[in-house]
Homo-oligomer: A and B are copies of this chain.
Amino acid sequence: MRLAVLLASQRPVNIALLGAGTVGAEVGRVLIEKQDVYARQLGRPLNLMAVVVRDTSKPRKGIDSALLTTDAVKLLDEAKLDIVVELLGVEFPALDWIQMALRNGKHVVTANKEVMAKHGPQLLALARENGVDLLFEASVGGGIPIIAPLKRDLLANDISAVSAIINGTTNYILTAMAREGADFGDALKRAQELGYAEPDPANDIEGEDARYKLSILASLAFRTFLPRDDIYREGITRLTARDFRYAAELGYAIKLLALASRVDGGIQARVHPVFLPVDAPLAKVDGVLNAVQVEGDLIGRVNFQGPGAGFPTTSSVIADVLDAAQTVIGGRRASHATEDAPAHVVPMAALITRYYIRLTVSDKPGVLASIARILGDARISIASVIQKEVHEASNTAELVIMTHEAREASVQDALKAVQDLPEVQEIGNFIRVEEQ
């Protein structure tokens, strides 16, 4: 209660959303739904002041219709507005509105890869001139943290290469082609049916989307400006089921990679399908997942993987909003120790998981029945039993039991009882199963 009173007495950090499409509506909804959590983290409430849309009569789930407005220009001039979140997903009017916001001294958070790839340097300079932040974590890799790590965590390195799978649509199609021997056309059609590819998929399958994102990543990594037009581009449309078959035979996966590296004389940057050795970490990134691999002089090679689009993008957008809000408040970054109460730790005995149990038993009838009875009495149900390696000399056999989910305490008790059976020579091992 005291916290609530304290927070209510403080001026909130005011936020405006430009756009309420898929990501925009989700960001709005989460900012409202989790306002108490974020207020506690910041020590100051976040207030969603307005949402700019084209049509205010259309209802937006989880967002009060009173917040909707069509007048961006007036909103961006509001003195009390602190942070502008641009989620229009197209170049115009996003570019104009971002410039307007920066000139008016507002911090800007954007997920707009096109605007950042084309106009990043000018916009970042404009932000600096006006003493505000321009944050764009969500413009590449959806929810994966990659922009902030490049700006902060990898800053000590001279980066030599960035290799990335940064288009979920093409990676989904290539994964289907590899797994099912599908041809490109069929795989694309199914991706469209499942909503993983647009009705007009050209931007994705021709590598243009990946090129925007590589332009942003490489500009950051190499501390320069790499215009997207300077990036060589080839799409995935020429690939056939046969190429995948031969690739597999030769020990390779086929992926659409976005690659930028320092070479003699400059930077080499390209987006095209590649043969990747099946053991390479990026060869194992399947479906709509994205991954970015960075190589630096100090770190060697580091890899970031996660969902590259859709709802998880909200995580990156709001991380940027919280960062900008901390700058507005002017305090230090929120520390994890703000809630000082120690954790309530659940005892190991309460764990519920599956178990692998390996036993050495006398090789005679009825042994398994005795063990099964003990497990059954402890409500541990058996998923499978394999009898292994009968040793004629000692007249023993090895049993491998996989259980269904059971409670650790029950398993420990049951194993003690099993150990006491005269037919059981030894419990060789038991290992918990982690389904991920």
Which residues does chain B contribute within 8 Å of A185, judged by CB atoms? Answer: none
A148 lies within 8 A of chain B by Cβ: yes
A133 to B154, CA, bound (A): 19
A173 to B254, CA, bound (A): 31
Which residues does chain B contribute within 8 Å of A246, judged by CB atoms? Answer: 356, 358, 386, 388, 400
A263 lies within 8 A of chain B by Cβ: yes
A37 to B223, CA, bound (A): 12
A314 lies within 8 A of chain B by Cβ: yes
Asked whether, in the complex, the Cβ of B340 is within 8 Å of the Cβ of A225, the reply is: yes
Give min CB distance, A302 to chain B, whole Å: 4
Given the interface pairs A156-B319, A250-B402, the reply to whether A431 lies near B337 with Cβ below 8 Å is: no
Copies, count: 2
Give min CB distance, A174 to chain B, whole Å: 12
Which residues does chain B contribute within 8 Å of A311, judged by CB atoms? Answer: 298, 300
Task: Give A231's nearest chain B residue, CB to CB.
Answer: B345
Question: Which one of B267, B315, B338 lies within 8 Å of A343 (CB-CB)?
Answer: B267
Within 8 A of B (CB), among A328-346: 332-346
A307 lies within 8 A of chain B by Cβ: yes
A343 to B435, CA, bound (A): 46
Within 8 A of B (CB), among A149-173: 149-158, 163
Which residues does chain B contribute within 8 Å of A144, judged by CB atoms? Answer: 302
Asked whether, in the complex, the Cβ of B298 is within 8 Å of the Cβ of A351, the reply is: no
Asked whether, in the complex, the Cβ of A298 is within 8 Å of the Cβ of B30, the reply is: yes
Asked whether, in the complex, the Cβ of A243 is within 8 Å of the Cβ of B436, the reply is: no
A296 lies within 8 A of chain B by Cβ: yes
Within 8 A of B (CB), among A286-342: 293, 296, 298-307, 311-312, 314-319, 321-323, 332-342
Given the interface pairs A386-B246, A429-B240, the reply to whether A224 lies near B342 with Cβ below 8 Å is: yes
Task: Give A339's nearest chain B residue, CB to CB.
Answer: B223
Give min CB distance, A104 to chain B, whole Å: 18
A354 to B128, CA, bound (A): 44
**A65-73, A271-279, A409-417 - interface stretch:** A271-279
Give min CB distance, A314 to chain B, whole Å: 5
A99 lies within 8 A of chain B by Cβ: no
Which residues does chain B contribute within 8 Å of A50, judged by CB atoms? Answer: none
A19 lies within 8 A of chain B by Cβ: no
A398 lies within 8 A of chain B by Cβ: yes
A182 lies within 8 A of chain B by Cβ: no
Which residues does chain B contribute within 8 Å of A152, judged by CB atoms? Answer: 145, 148, 152, 319, 323, 333
Which residues does chain B contribute within 8 Å of A259, judged by CB atoms? Answer: 434
User: Can you list 20 residue pairs at the A/B interface with Cβ under 8 Å?
Assistant: A34-B156, A121-B337, A125-B340, A133-B332, A145-B154, A163-B434, A163-B436, A219-B336, A223-B336, A226-B342, A246-B400, A266-B343, A268-B345, A270-B351, A272-B432, A275-B356, A280-B436, A299-B306, A303-B304, A304-B305
Binding site for B on A (CB under 8 A): 30, 34, 37-38, 41, 120-121, 124-125, 128, 131, 133, 137, 143-145, 148-158, 163, 218-220, 222-227, 230-232, 238-240, 242-243, 246-247, 249-250, 252, 254, 257, 259, 263, 265-270, 272-277, 280-282, 284, 293, 296, 298-307, 311-312, 314-319, 321-323, 332-346, 348, 350-351, 354, 356, 358, 384, 386, 388, 398, 400, 402, 428-429, 431-436
Closest 9 CB pairs of A and B: A145-B153, A156-B318, A266-B344, A302-B306, A298-B315, A299-B315, A303-B305, A230-B345, A274-B434
